[in-house]
Amino acid sequence: MTQQLALSIVGSGGDGAVAAGDILAMACARDGLHVIKTEAYGPQIRGGESSCTVRISAKPIFAQADAIDALIVFNWADFARFRSEIVLSPTAVIVHEADDPTPDEIASSPSRRVIPVAFAALARDAGAPNGKNILALGLLASIFGLPADAIRAAIEKRFAKKSAAVLEGNRNAFDRGFALGEELGLPVAKFLYTATTSKLLMSGNEASAVGAVDAGCRFFAGYPITPSSEILHFMAEWLPKLGGSCLQTEDELAAIGGVVGGSFSGVKSMTSTSGPGLSLMAEMIGLASMAEVPAVIVNVQRGGPSTGLPTKSEQSDLLHAVFASHGDTPRVVLAPVDVEDSFHITVDAFNIAEEYQLPVIVLSDQSIAQRRETVSRESLIHDVVSRRVASPEALEDFQRYQLTEDGVSPMSMPGMAGGMFQTNGLEHDERGRPSSMYIVHERMNEKRYRKLDAIARHYRLYRRFGAEKPEIGILCWGSSTGPVREAIDVLTAEGLAVAAFVPRILMPLPAENIQQFVNSCAELLVVELSFSAQFHQLLRTQIDLPRAKTHVYARSGGKALGVTEIIDQVRRCTAGTEKAEEVLA
Amino acid sequence: MTTCESVYTPNTYKSDVKPVWCPGCGDFGVLNSLYRALADLKCEPHDTVVVSGIGCSSRLPGYVETYGFNALHGRALPIASGVKLASPALNVIAVGGDGDGIAIGGNHFLHTARRNTDIVYIMMDNEIYGLTKGQAAPTTPLGDKTKSTAYGNPESPVDPCGLAISFGATWVARSFSGDVKGTTDLIKKAIQHRGFAFLNIMSPCVTWRGDDQFKILRAKVRPISADHDVKSREAAMRYTNEQDIVTTGVLYAIERPTLVDEMLEVRWKAQGDRQPPTRTDLLKAFTPSF
């Protein structure tokens, strides 16, 4: 018996590898299981090879699987393209199209079971010429004891709008595959689970978009860019239904410009982009900060610099997000740790932007943004803060940029009588009038930075996992959190006192809390997907990280961080074989 | 502080900020024309937003007692578009110079015109970069010596009105800032137009183009003929890229659905007269409902 499984399906366009993964993932979500589903494609826009991996678990999971338990291959040539990404467990069950001879490297592994199945011919016989993916689902369901009823129901739903013959053919294909699995009678560990309340299945981009809508965003301006475009798509579909508007702009300069304009006019506004777009938005981040206009930017990181690795994850936009734009530019940077958190962090981004009148960047990344993950419906609730609008008293002698204790000034919006002011990218006085006097600049800088102090006090967004008194403490952020959390579970079970501290706000850092954590750990390990260790660099600006006990594991993105990889790094640190303060990668 | 007065005079729209412009600057004429146009049309100050980029002329929002936004170089139009689309009830006027709108912001000019975004765009055209002290602009005549073209401008200029028409603007006019009455009249027409209204105002820079610019321009200005067909694109294009004359008046004026019209249409297609979507609707695509 096993409580978790990882299954991969690889094929060419038209084989339905990704569709099969969708059906399986949705079926498991219906039965309340935990699912993480990832997809990978060749560079072709249409057709070409595709692979889909579904990790299923009866217990909560936080990362992609390190190794695959079962692999369906419709075409070995397609598999070869993903060879470096799909790591097979030593006991993996491999089922491939019988017509396609198995490469020696796979066939020669003694412990793996390699089974030829005539997918295409059997599907045709079942009356579903395009149904070999469905036949494969039947096979997997019987071999591993997956939730067959739920998968059947998902297939019914998927083909409900097709002809009766197509629906019937696919039903037959599933049953034929299921029967074949029983005939094979493989001695594998069956999947053990109890069905519970059904869950939602969504991507991080979708969770961010839902969070934005919940937060009250009614204007979105964006420019298409991988891997963030799903947010644009969601907003284009839903904002008009909600009485809002979505504008696809001519470039990212216009996107962030539209957001600043929309927000200035009194409507909560957002854009989404990826690294190259964030580079273009840098100047306008400074304007939003200077003019004190709330603005939310979701930046979905991909490999960089330049065009980089558009479809792969990396955590290398951190320092750009934290420091982008010339001048002294207060802004806030938040980072979700998983799909569900993308919802919460996006609502928080609006709350902070609206309450403190500044730009807030949400730093997601491709791995969180594009994987589909189960989320409890009840968890998608988050308090929403409204804009602090100037009171009638404040409007009597209105000073839009009034110096206040927490730096937040009364705000009016066009349409409000008595609230008229001119906002400005030029330094300005309390009424918004341009000024280049030193003393005005100094007072205004102080005022704008006081907002960061207030945010640091009120938004200590972080997570802490693991032992109270850790021998080794891990510092990480964003998508690194999932594999780190699973690694901690494994190491804790082995008796090691290990913990992790994960800031979900990177600017301003919850420095006091991080310092306490650092002081409580005998050894430290910083983990991140950035070749130049940007997170480590950022920590060192504000945290005393003793060199003697600080280890850094920082490598390029392009490949997901593995649980085993982190366990290995922790062991290297605790074994004392590594000199501290050395990049381990 | 201005409140909802029932009487609207040009002074209603005058802010207490003193312009930084050089004495004799053409932009004073534009500013005075704008005050008059807003007063004549009784534009509610607090429902009006004036947005600009960067440059001498982009200082203008500070001098107008409405809501104002002096933004980034070249980015007046994206910000103005965001204001209008998010809050369609507002009266939105974008202003700026020729360098701001055609050089650094040229791409936005194209797309804001193409979309027929419901805003007025006033371009104060002085054929030079004034704020940075005298470099060539995309409108500087071929051969002219400027600080950045020591041996004469090697580049051919573009005519902003010709660009606007070819970009798909639905209302295009040219004016001369020395003619406050004519300019006032054209700003009023621009505000009244439904859609993207582009007004190119020849607004001399006496500091970097010479004291005699007013005289030279005044000699070149010709009001457009009374029988000009404003609906004809071909006829309008005849008044672009002129050599020795400057034709003023409405060159082109047609009607087509505006961006706000289209956005309302999109909302109707998306939702019709049905109840707004519930959270269950929003989450439907993520819910295993089988």
> Could you say which of B80, B271, B287 has the minimum Cβ distance to residue A200?
B287
Non-local CB neighbours of A197 within 8 Å, separated by 6+ positions: A32, A376
Please check whether residues A335 and A423 belong to one and the same domain: no
Among candidate residues A379, A410, A428, the one where a domain is terminated: A379
Cβ of B69 under 8 Å from any chain A Cβ? yes
Structure tokens at A297: 């930017």
Q: Which of A:239-268 have CB within 8 Å of B?
A: 240-243, 245, 247, 249-251, 253-267
Residues of chain A with pLDDT under 50: none
Please check whether residues A497 and A535 belong to one and the same domain: yes
Where residue B283 falls (left for φ over 0; alpha for ψ -120 to 50; beta otherwise) is alpha
> Could you say which of B70, B276, B290 has the minimum Cβ distance to residue A426?
B70
The reported pLDDT for the residue numbered B3 is: 44
CB distance B69–A424 less than 8 Å? yes
Please check whether residues A527 and A415 belong to one and the same domain: no
**Is A239 inside any structural domain?**
yes
Dihedral in degrees, nearest 10, Cα atoms B231, B233, B239, B240: 140
CA dist., res. A228 & res. A245, Å (int): 18
CB distance A414–B47 less than 8 Å? yes
Q: Which residues of A touch B77 (CB under 8 A)?
A: 254, 257
Burial environment of residue B5 by CB neighbours within 10 A (0 to 12, 13 to 18, 19 or more)? exposed
The three-state secondary structure class of A117 is strand
Please check whether residues A446 and A374 belong to one and the same domain: no
Please check whether residues A219 and A346 belong to one and the same domain: yes
Among candidate residues A415, A436, A458, the one where a domain is terminated: A458
Point out which residues pair with B14 in neighbouring strands.
B64
> Could you say which of B3, B85, B267 has the minimum Cβ distance to residue A262?
B85
Per-residue model confidence as pLDDT tens digits over A214-236: 999 999 999 999 999 999 999 99
Please check whether residues A145 and A253 belong to one and the same domain: no
Q: Which residues of A touch B272 (CB under 8 A)?
A: none
For testing contact with chain B, the best of A149, A203, A264, A325 (most B CBs within 10 A) = A264
**Is A540 inside any structural domain?**
yes
Number of domains in chain A: 4
Q: Which amino acid is at B259?
A: L
Instruction: For residue B60, give the chain A residue with the closest CA.
Output: A422
Q: Which residues of A touch B81 (CB under 8 A)?
A: 247, 254, 257-258, 261
Please check whether residues A44 and A120 belong to one and the same domain: yes
**Is A97 inside any structural domain?**
yes
Cβ of B6 under 8 Å from any chain A Cβ? no
**Buried residues in A376-397 as b, exposed as e (16+ CB within 10 A):** eeeebebeebebeebeeebbee
Please check whether residues A101 and A179 belong to one and the same domain: yes
> Could you say which of B78, B84, B286 has the minimum Cβ distance to residue A253?
B78
> CB of B135 within 8 A of CB of B147?
yes
Please check whether residues A362 and A505 belong to one and the same domain: no
Non-local CB neighbours of B76 within 8 Å, separated by 6+ positions: B51, B52, B53, B58, B94, B95, B96, B100, B101, B105, B108, B121
Cβ of B145 under 8 Å from any chain A Cβ? no
**Is A385 inside any structural domain?**
no
> Could you say which of A397, A415, A424 has the minimum Cβ distance to residue B47?
A415
Among candidate residues A184, A216, A241, the one where a domain is terminated: A184
Point out which residues pair with A10 in neighbouring strands.
A51, A73
- pLDDT by 10s per residue, chain B, length 290: 344 446 899 999 999 999 999 999 999 999 999 999 999 999 999 999 999 999 999 999 999 999 999 999 999 999 999 999 999 999 999 999 999 999 999 999 999 999 999 999 999 999 999 999 999 999 999 999 999 999 999 999 999 999 999 999 999 999 999 999 999 999 999 999 999 999 999 999 999 999 999 999 999 999 999 999 999 999 999 999 998 999 999 999 999 999 999 999 999 999 999 999 999 999 999 999 99
Query: How far A262 CA lies from chain B's nearest CA (Å)?
Result: 4
CA dist., res. A318 & res. A335, Å (int): 10
Cβ of A30 under 8 Å from any chain B Cβ? yes
DSSP A89: E
Non-local CB neighbours of A123 within 8 Å, separated by 6+ positions: A129, A130, A131, A132, A134, A135, A173, A176
CA distances from A462 to A261, A445, A540 (A): 32, 27, 18
Q: Which of A:350-379 have CB within 8 Å of B?
A: 375, 377
CB distance B46–A414 less than 8 Å? yes
The reported pLDDT for the residue numbered B2 is: 44
What is the interface pTM, i.e. ipTM, of the complex? 0.97
Query: How far A290 CA lies from chain B's nearest CA (Å)?
Result: 10
For testing contact with chain B, the best of A24, A238, A241, A380 (most B CBs within 10 A) = A241
Query: How far B4 CA lies from chain A's nearest CA (Å)?
Result: 7
For testing contact with chain A, the best of B16, B67, B95, B279 (most A CBs within 10 A) = B67
The reported pLDDT for the residue numbered A38 is: 96
The reported pLDDT for the residue numbered A331 is: 98
The reported pLDDT for the residue numbered B1 is: 39
> Could you say which of B46, B59, B85 has the minimum Cβ distance to residue A420?
B46
Q: Which residues of B touch A265 (CB under 8 A)?
A: 49, 82-83, 86-87, 90
Q: Which residues of B touch A200 (CB under 8 A)?
A: 283, 286-287
CB distance A423–B290 less than 8 Å? no
The three-state secondary structure class of A323 is helix
Instruction: For residue A203, give the chain B residue with the closest CA.
Output: B286
CB distance B78–A261 less than 8 Å? yes
Please check whether residues A222 and A140 belong to one and the same domain: no
Q: Which residues of B touch A284 (CB under 8 A)?
A: 72, 75
- The CATH code of the domain that includes A112 is 3.40.920.10
CB distance B267–A213 less than 8 Å? no
**Is A582 inside any structural domain?**
no
Structure tokens at A447: 């005022």
**Is A427 inside any structural domain?**
yes
Residue numbers of the domain that contains A9 = 4-184
Cβ of A515 under 8 Å from any chain B Cβ? no
φ, ψ for residue B85 (rounded to 5)? -70, -40
The pTM (predicted TM-score) of the whole model is 0.97
Please check whether residues A119 and A20 belong to one and the same domain: yes
DSSP run (H or E) holding A6 = strand A4-12
Place domain B10-256 in its CATH homologous superfamily: Thiamin diphosphate (ThDP)-binding fold, Pyr/PP domains (3.40.50.970)
**Is A580 inside any structural domain?**
no
Cβ of B67 under 8 Å from any chain A Cβ? yes
Please check whether residues A163 and A238 belong to one and the same domain: no
